[in-house]
Amino acid sequence: MDAMNRDGNNCEAVSRRRILRSTGIAGSIAVSSNLVGSAKAEKTVEIITHIIGDEENEITKKVPRSWKEHSDRVSLVREQVQNEYIRQKGVESVSIGLGNEYFGGKRGFSINVGVDSEELNVSPNAVTPDTIDGVELNVEEEPEEVEESCDDKCWNSSTFDPTPGGVLFAGATAGARFFAHGIRGNDYMITAAHNVDLDYCDKDLVGSEVEQHCNYWGEVMEQYNALDIVMVSLDSDYSMNGEIEQHPSPVDVSGYVTLNGLKDLESDGETVYKMGCRTGMTSGPILETEVSRSSCPTFQSEGIEIELDSAAGDSGCPYYDLRNGGAYLIGFHSRGVNTTSEEICNRYVTSRVRGSTAYYIADEYSGYFD
């Protein structure tokens, strides 16, 4: 297969890179301990949480050493669980969610296994053991997912006027937009592959022309089916900038959040954001990291799930963390999870979202965001 059109089946190579990202370079930098009175406090280790621009600068944070060791152990066990169970009939996903234990006062993690109980050959309680190497495993019913492309122009005249978020070209708004630099020496726009073709999993889209409401954008240069993304080289009539069209005013993109940074945000229950065309700006906590699915897009252990509202037309939009006056990219919106009874512009709203992660794109393609 052409190197620019990836089906994402090289699980072993991806596994090694992902674990190195969690435990190696983006892992501990320094260890320290603090004395409070006569009691010895929890030892801490410094982790890299955010990369600024082209990796010349970074944001770090001290976390309990016991929590970091636990976090690394959970990632290793998650990999083991995925390799053993993801191909079993009825097993739909494997991810890292919040656990019940605390380490140095910081909340730890558990492993979530999503199943379709009607397809299982055994009862849900018998799918996995309760724990592996001291890490808690939870088997839960896999929620319904909805690909959130839009087949009409309704969302261009929603409650926002003009609709913020996404890509604004020639007065039309699409569901995606941010830019990666240095991808094989080029700058590209990134969007959801299913925005280009709903049958992307079975097609080679590289070289395809990309249009938005009859306006020609450019050409698909890179396709990654497992992550539901394509990279588009824009027509010369358009220019790229480093902003998210956040309502009521844009916010500059400063960089991206690392895997350790995502786990830190997840553990602390911090609020992160999404800016999409259909639902505008919505926010909520990270629910799951290192998400893998059994079918396309598999996310290759690089997916994320966040508790926030979305609807059809939001696909490809950015998830991000607001910090120090800038936006640090978290990922790219692929699908909604858990359809609600609420409607926006004749489309049901979902209460959770899943997508791929920006740190993986930066690592895999040696690119950066700003």
Q: Is-contact 352 140, C-beta < 8 A?
A: no
Rounded-to-integer distance, Cα 49 and Cα 38, Å: 31
pLDDT in tens, 181-215: 556 667 788 888 888 888 889 999 999 887 765 56
Q: Tell me, yes or no, if the pTM score tops 0.85.
A: no
Looking at the domain assignment, is residue 50 inside a domain? no
Region 2-21: what's the mean pLDDT?
45
Q: Is-contact 220 205, C-beta < 8 A?
A: yes
At 108, is the pLDDT very low, low, confident or very high (cuts 50, 70, 90)? Answer: very high
* pLDDT exceeds cutoff 90 at 50: yes
Three-state DSSP at 259 gives helix
Say which DSSP state 346 is in. Answer: T
Q: Which two tokens stand for residue 229?
A: 């993304």
Whose structure tokens read 């993304």?
229
* CA dist 162 → 167, 211, 219, 246 (Å): 12, 20, 26, 12
Of 141, 160, 191, which residue is a domain's last? Answer: 141
Residue 63's CB is within 10 A of a number of other CB atoms, namely 24
Residue predicted with more confidence, 136 or 238: 136
Looking at the domain assignment, is residue 46 inside a domain? no
Number of independent structural domains in the chain: 2
Look up the CATH number of the domain holding residue 129: 3.30.300
Whose structure tokens read 């079975």?
202
Q: What are phi and psi of 355, to 5 degrees?
A: -165, 180
Looking at the domain assignment, is residue 172 inside a domain? no
Looking at the domain assignment, is residue 163 inside a domain? no
Looking at the domain assignment, is residue 257 inside a domain? yes
Query: Which residue type does 177 have?
Result: R
Looking at the domain assignment, is residue 119 inside a domain? yes
pLDDT in tens, 139-164: 999 887 766 554 444 434 433 333 33
Whose structure tokens read 């970091």?
68
Indicate whether 358 and 246 sit together in one domain: yes
Q: Is-contact 308 298, C-beta < 8 A?
A: no
Of 93, 121, 141, which residue is a domain's last? Answer: 141
Look up the CATH number of the domain holding residue 308: 2.40.10.10
Helix intervals (H) in the chain: 11-23, 65-85, 193-196, 259-268, 358-365
Per the structure, the complete domain to which residue 105 belongs is given by: 60-141
pLDDT in tens, 327-368: 999 998 988 887 766 665 556 677 889 999 999 988 887 777
Looking at the domain assignment, is residue 234 inside a domain? no
Looking at the domain assignment, is residue 346 inside a domain? yes
